[in-house]
Amino acid sequence: MDKKINSVIQTWLSGQYDPNTQAEIRRLQHENPSALEDAFYKNLEFGTGGLRGIMGVGTNRMNKYTVGAATQGLANYLLQQYPNQKIKVAIAFDSREQSDFFAQVSANILSANAIHCFLFEEIRPTPELSFAVRALRCQAGIVITASHNPPEYNGYKVYWSDGGQLVPPHDHLVIQEVNKITRVEQIKWDANPTLISTMGEDIDREYLARVQSLVQTPVARAQAQNMKIVYTPLHGTGITVIPRALQNMGFEQVCIVKEQALPDGRFPTVKYPNPEDTEALLLSLKLADTLDADLVLATDPDADRVGVAARDKNGNMQLFNGNEIAAMLVAYQLQTLQKKKLLCRETDYVVKTIVTTDLIKEIAHTYGIPCYDVLTGFKYIAEKIETIGEKGHFLCGGEESNGFLTGDFVRDKDAVSTCCMIAELVATLNANKKTLSCFLEDIYQQFHRYKEVQVSLTRQGKSGQEDIANMMRTFRTTPPDVLGDSPVIQIRDFLESDQFDHGQLLPKADVLQFFTQKGDKITVRPSGTEPKIKFYISVTDRSDTPTTALNERIELIKKFFFKD
């Protein structure tokens, strides 16, 4: 084993680390040296998205000490930014193993640094934490979650006073402070209980009232009463507020998937608790067929993403991806606002990420509304809302990975309000004898037909990181001349050259985009939260183009990137 790695391991064995941690290190020394090396070969990086990693002992794992270092670094930064002020931080956690423990550790350390913490008494959705930060006028927020990662993962996300995740300059400056915590003795562990307050129902009521205020078209009581909705929280936090939010709108027949109703960090009924994954929806689709339900809604463990399936014209359940969901919700909201003469072209705007369907941009421009492009990650949508401020009025925004937001009282993707918006849209369509798939087809007929897929390659460990870096380097040095059957006419490298949207400079990022003569867009980027390199393929053509033709183009493009 490398001497540096062994030196760090010896520090953990001889330093002020708890006996259980030291015993586990000794066990791995004897039983699984390679796993021990992977646990210590680097520090679990506090990146621009916070921490995320496998739970266990070691510097490269989520545990009391890595969470402690992150929290102490955050505390130090807050104390620098707000000297001689009362500092407040809101903390939430999801249903994963140890999430409640990591949340309590965070609250203890912050309170030991004379920072007042508002800790949710039980699991709550990530968007409600974003709301709480703003409602309680906190300087920061923390969510313990690894979103839809496998059960062995957990994570630590940090929010700033605007309710959005950290963006420049705060993200890099917090990282600097976290990296200064090199010894366990630097962490203040002894809690001040007088500075830890619990919250729950009081914030729930405020948040749900704001969600209900988003209603575009009040659903007729009879229509809502007759509509059957199957909902699954996939063992996560959505169960705490989403059924209640739907019932507040008049949807009385909300049927919960029993096998997935209880919060359980092992996620025993799914391989991955990801509502984008068809396999994760199998139980809910089965129940929907049993009940002859109109709509299926599924949310990930921290309830910021939503999966959707609804009856098509033949009565079969049709799944919709994140691009389709976002396009339909944008179109519905703009249509409704225009009919009510509430659309203001001088101030209203929508936002999407650069990997999200450009159909949204087409829709917005048709209504005379600007659509801003931001880097991948909902924190950049939140940043855009904050930057524009009172000069504009944010209507909604979305990303391809099943994340959407309406209104600005939350500054992150919000599956709670999105579930309500989708239910409202389906009920409105039902009243007019239309289906969600018909609504999507109407959008294609008015604009262009789009088809998007996202494909990932997973590369674990140190060698995997190197593989991903080499792939990105190869795409830069020897970019494709043709993708599918169309010449590449433009390449955007967000790392090497300045990129602008509406005249505003976008931050540099390890992202490549290839544009073809036929209007296809292919984006390549390493994941910021998983050991993956991601490929986002978007093809488009005239409205009368068969979907099969677009699928064939996608398969041709895939062949370039996946030659093996």
The catalytically annotated residue of 95, 99, 106, 147 is: 147
Average pLDDT of the segment spanning 407-421: 97
Other beta carbons within 10 angstroms of residue 544's beta carbon come to 8
pLDDT of 220 higher than 90: no
- pLDDT(395) > 70: yes
Using CA atoms, how far residue 306 sits from 184, 456, 537, in Å, is 39, 20, 21
pLDDT at 203 over 70: yes
Rounded mean pLDDT, 396-405: 96
Asked if residue 318 lies in contact with residue 310, where contact means CB atoms within 8 angstroms, the answer is yes
pLDDT for 128 = 98
- Check residue 148 and report its DSSP letter: T
* Predicted local confidence at residue 235, as pLDDT: 98
Rounded to an integer, what distance in angstroms lies between the CA atom of residue 522 and that of residue 107?
43
Instruction: Identify the CATH assignment for 42-199 out of 3.40.120.10, 3.40.50.2000, 3.40.50.2020, 3.90.1150.10.
Output: 3.40.120.10
The string of DSSP codes covering 464-518 is HHHHHHHHHHHHHHS--SEETTEEEEEEEETTTS--EETTEEPPP-S-EEEEETT
Cα–Cα distance for residue pair 154/178, rounded to 1 Å? 18
Is-contact 60 43, C-beta < 8 A?
Answer: yes
pLDDT at 325 (0 to 100): 98
396 vs 352: CA distance, rounded Å: 9
pLDDT tens string 248-280: 999 999 999 999 999 999 999 999 999 999 999
Kindly state the helix (H) or strand (E) to which residue 323 belongs, with its residue range: helix 322-339
pTM here is: 0.94
Strand order in the sheet with 532-541: 449-458, 532-541, 521-526, 512-516, 486-493, 482-483
What CATH number was assigned to the domain covering residues 323-446? 3.40.120.10
CATH number for the domain whose boundaries are 449-561: 3.30.310
Question: How far is residue 42's CA from residue 45's CA, in Å, rounded to a whole number?
Answer: 8
Rounded to whole angstroms, how far apart are CA atoms 443 and 422? Answer: 16
The pLDDT value given to residue 216: 86
Place of tokens 């939260």: 529
At 105, the amino acid letter reads V
User: Which segments of the chain belong to CATH 3.30.310?
Assistant: 449-561
Q: Which residues of 377-414 are buried (b: 16+ CB within 10 A; e: fewer)?
A: bbbbbbbbbbebeeebebbbbbbbbbbbbbebbbbbbb
Q: CB-hemisphere CA count at 13 Å for 486?
A: 21
147 among known catalytic residues: yes
In terms of Cβ atoms closer than 10 Å to its own Cβ (0-12, 13-18, 19+), residue 10 is exposed
Q: Coil, strand or helix: which one is 255?
A: strand
Q: pLDDT tens, 71-114?
A: 999 999 999 999 999 999 999 999 999 999 999 999 999 999 99
Confidence of residue 528 (pLDDT cuts 50, 70, 90): confident
d(CA 441, CA 539): 16
Lowest mean pLDDT across 299-313, 349-363, 425-439, 454-468: 454-468
Band (364; pLDDT cuts 50, 70, 90):
very high
Q: Do 425 and 329 form a contact (C-beta atoms < 8 A)?
A: yes
Nearest CA-CA partner of 307 in 403, 205, 438, 424: 403
Return the closest-CA partner of residue 305 out of 320, 280, 322. 322
How high is the pLDDT of residue 564? Answer: 58
Least confident of 324-333, 500-509, 549-558: 500-509
| pLDDT value at residue 505 | 81
pLDDT tops 90 at residue 28 = yes
Q: How confident is the model at residue 48 (pLDDT cuts 50, 70, 90)?
A: low
Rounded CA separation 90/106 (Å):
10
More confident residue, 542 or 461: 542
* 97 and 265 Cβ atoms separated by less than 8 Å: yes
pLDDT, mean of residues 210-227? 85
Q: What is the mean pLDDT of the chain?
A: 94
Q: Which residue has the tokens 């068809």?
A: 278
Say how far apart CA 559 and CA 349 lie, in whole Å. Answer: 37
- Which residue type, as a one-letter code, is found at position 107? A
- Reported confidence tier of residue 15, pLDDT bands at 50, 70, 90: confident
Distances (CA, A) of 182 to 48, 74, 287, 508: 19, 14, 51, 29
* Cα 345 → chain centroid: 29
pLDDT of 50 reads: 84
Which has the minimum average pLDDT: 205-209, 218-222, 342-346, 363-367?
Answer: 218-222
pLDDT per position as a tens digit, 320-343: 999 999 999 999 999 999 999 999
Residue with tokens 């989708």: 422
Cβ–Cβ < 8 Å for 325, 398: yes
List every span in the chain annotated with CATH 3.40.120.10: 42-199, 207-214+225-320, 323-446
pLDDT of residue 201: 96
What is the reported pLDDT for 375?
93
Q: Give the right CATH number for 207-214+225-320 from 3.40.50.300, 3.30.1540.10, 3.40.120.10, 3.30.450.20.
A: 3.40.120.10
